[in-house]
Amino acid sequence: MIRDRSHCRSTKRVFRSPKRSLELINCLFQKASQYTLTLQAADRLGTGLRTTATAIISLSTAGPAPAPSLLAAHPDAGNHTLLTVHALNVLTGLPATGLALHLSRPGDPQRLWEEMFKSATNSDGRLDGGSQATRQLTAGTYKLRFETGAYWEQQGYRSFYPYVEVVFSITEAERKVHIPLLLSPYSYSTYRGS
């Protein structure tokens, strides 16, 4: 049980198998260095074995600090916005690993878009913090191009959409922009995430 829920999101994940279920609440563990996790387990009918376990979880930093990226707050972020991306393969229900993407902004009149960087999603389907995406974004219009045709070809499928382009605008007031992409070989969906 997490007593201080002021930093928790309301999203819940429930994992179920024929005999067990586990409910987790997504939390951002940033306000304390130690948490107490209490798990209570029982069978579905509540007539069998019941048990409770408590674990103390201590948070610490191991190894060198990660390189600054669009994914993490940077001390001198100023008026910049951080960009996060999460791509999910809805055919398998798993992250879309290795999905190539390009971030562009409007260029000069002769070039419609100027590419800022290329990268690919990591094993969690997210924009990798170690990629070339090391700068924060300022107010303006941007385009994310996902190479969905190549991704689906690697998965053994043929895609109806060779690529997906998501054009979005950032205002000065925004501190973070999250762009989820849900994709299958014949459809995709995106929305403004949180």
Is 157 annotated as a binding-site member? no
Q: Average pLDDT in the 49-71 region?
A: 49
Q: Let me know how long the chain is.
A: 194
**More reliable by pLDDT, 111 or 14:** 111
Give strand pairing partners of 88.
95, 182
**For range 1-30, the mean pLDDT:** 47
Is residue 183 within 8 Å of 164, Cβ to Cβ?
A: yes
Q: Is the pLDDT of residue 158 over 50?
A: yes
**Does residue 126 have a known ligand-binding role?**
yes
Supply the pLDDT for residue 95: 97
- pTM confidence score: 0.58
The share of the chain scoring above pLDDT 70, in percent, equals: 54
Residue 148's SS3 state is helix
86 marked as part of a ligand binding site: yes
Q: What is the pLDDT of residue 89?
A: 97
Q: What is the mean pLDDT of the chain?
A: 72
Over pLDDT 90: what percentage of the chain?
38
Q: Which residues of 125-145 are buried (b: 16+ CB within 10 A; e: fewer)?
A: bbbbbebebeebbeeeebbbb
